[in-house]
Chain A
């Protein structure tokens, strides 16, 4: 059976291929199979026999290792084929670490909101696509995710708070979604909006923040191959605390630009104002491109603390993606590009 699925067995057993550095402690934590890991192996074994998802979920549930939410109708899409063009200079952050260190204010202002984020209801989930497009439409997430082929990419994530993580995201380039939306020539920006449901997400009762979370990019940025719509991570559907069922990731920008749990995508003429920019325009700008030379008003951005390893490493221009994205900003005023 293993011979029949060489790719799967390799990825499962040799996750170290993601990284350059090898850390024994990390290897240990990866090998300590979590219930989910056990469950996924089960599924793969069953897939090897050609059995369907329903059977797998039933069996997993009867074995007492599956929970209702594990029976994700898109689980069969993962692991997605790896795009080897995106490599890392550091190990992949263990899932248990970055799964408990998230800024998702909809579920609380602390970092470990993972448990509370499980209140996020992700089915049914529809995405409204509108604004300056040929024809506005609404699409169910489960349909959208099967319209565009998924791939796995290893990305660095740099938070404006000077910490960083690395994640094996799965998803598709934002530009594929833009193509699907067919924007009109007058569209200059893409505006993203998340859900608004204070009953489900108790953090949205916090009156300090102008809910819902909004973010935006230029149409040129949206067309760049690096701009990624994330639907999965760690070879399964993306966890709720990371912004299930679909989120954005712009690896060359500070993390707050990468909006979670997207509900609405609009193509607009006017520059959108994100939640953080509305709150603190002096600290969180529209561009928010990573630049170690430009400090945040209250701290230096020269270095970053890498989650898990705890290393303090120099931050790179455009978070190390300068070769790819610097061209997007030629001739623009550097005074605002990096905050």
Chain B
């Protein structure tokens, strides 16, 4: 099975597209890095005056984005009734691991591979420690994601081990928050998407049908409120920014659209997906453990 064929060996456009998408950020980074090294006319390349720092940040951004995408597979399979999506979950997860490894490797490059310093920095700086633990977790999941490893562990154990991804997600988001300067817009956005993904799971586990638009809208609203709450709490606890001002900013759109709205928009977009789903011929019922009506 190649990264662009399914289990029967047939070409899978879905897998091929995800493979391409997974490579694009790395290709862009390589090209941007080369632009700085090659350009003699402009002394500053696409990555700016501190290219390694910029590359570290971008690799980290992509690691968390791909991790979230891998977490989106399961709820989306249910919501869009698109079981084939499972084909790309492993690729998305491994891509997240590879970007996280690139993130650490670039950090090592930045410190000129001074191993003693790298280790002491990771041990001394809390946010680096957290990031490193998250990466170690990703490595554990990545190395147990081969067919052989799954078989060896057995489905039950494998699932138990891989539910570690939720803890890794929390650590990754926390790492993102504390490495930021005063402004935590992006980490808040990622935390909000994480909430959305977790609420889909929670709803399914509690027996709500992820095909019900009502359930999906409720999840979108709850995740958006949760995002605003996280933002409020972070500014209140970790910064000197009056958190009330941040909360109020959710209702002002002149400077920025706050993360909560993006989370809401995403949740509503997913609802739309569930609404148009029947028109695309995939009409087998996808239900929670309990019947949809039981909890209504």
Which A residues fall within an 8 A CB radius of B?
Answer: 28-29, 32, 94, 96-98, 100-101, 109, 111-112, 163, 205-209, 278-281, 295, 298-300, 305, 307-308, 310, 312
CA distance A11 to B126 in the complex (A): 48
Residue picked from B179, B240, B245, most chain A C-beta under 10 Å: B240
CA distance A112 to B41 in the complex (A): 18
Interface size class of B (residues with CB under 8 A): 35 or more
How far in angstroms is the closest Cβ of chain A from B6? 42
CA distance A295 to B117 in the complex (A): 14
Q: Which of B44-52, B70-78, B82-90, B197-205 lines the interface with chain A?
A: B44-52
Contact of A279 among B53, B124, B125, B241 (CB under 8 A): B241
Contact of B49 among A29, A101, A280, A312 (CB under 8 A): A101
Given contacts A207-B249, A298-B179, A300-B124, contact A281 B240 (CB under 8 A): yes
Task: Check if B280 is an interface residue, CB within 8 A of chain A.
Answer: no
Q: Is the CB of B49 within 8 A of A98?
A: yes
Pair count A-B, CB < 8 A? 75
**Chain B positions 41-64 with a Cβ under 8 Å from a chain A Cβ:** 41-44, 48-53
Q: Is the CB of A207 within 8 A of B245?
A: yes
* Chain B interface, DSSP helix/strand/loop, else mixed: loop
Q: Is the CB of B127 within 8 A of A298?
A: yes
Tell me which residues across on chain B come within 8 A of A207, comparing CB atoms.
Answer: 245-246, 249, 252, 255
Other A-B pairs, 13, CB within 8 Å; known A28-B40, A307-B50: A32-B41, A96-B43, A98-B49, A101-B49, A109-B183, A208-B183, A209-B182, A278-B240, A298-B127, A299-B121, A299-B125, A305-B110, A310-B52
* Chain A interface, DSSP helix/strand/loop, else mixed: loop
Q: Mind listing 30 A-B residue pairs with CB under 8 Å?
A: A29-B43, A94-B43, A97-B43, A97-B44, A97-B49, A98-B49, A100-B44, A100-B48, A101-B48, A101-B50, A109-B183, A111-B48, A111-B50, A163-B50, A206-B256, A207-B252, A207-B255, A208-B245, A278-B240, A279-B240, A279-B241, A280-B239, A280-B240, A298-B127, A300-B121, A305-B53, A307-B49, A307-B50, A310-B51, A312-B111
CA distance A122 to B220 in the complex (A): 47
Task: Check if B178 is an interface residue, CB within 8 A of chain A.
Answer: yes
Tell me which residues across on chain B come within 8 A of A281, comparing CB atoms.
Answer: 240
How far in angstroms is the closest Cβ of chain A from B245? 6
CA distance A97 to B49 in the complex (A): 6
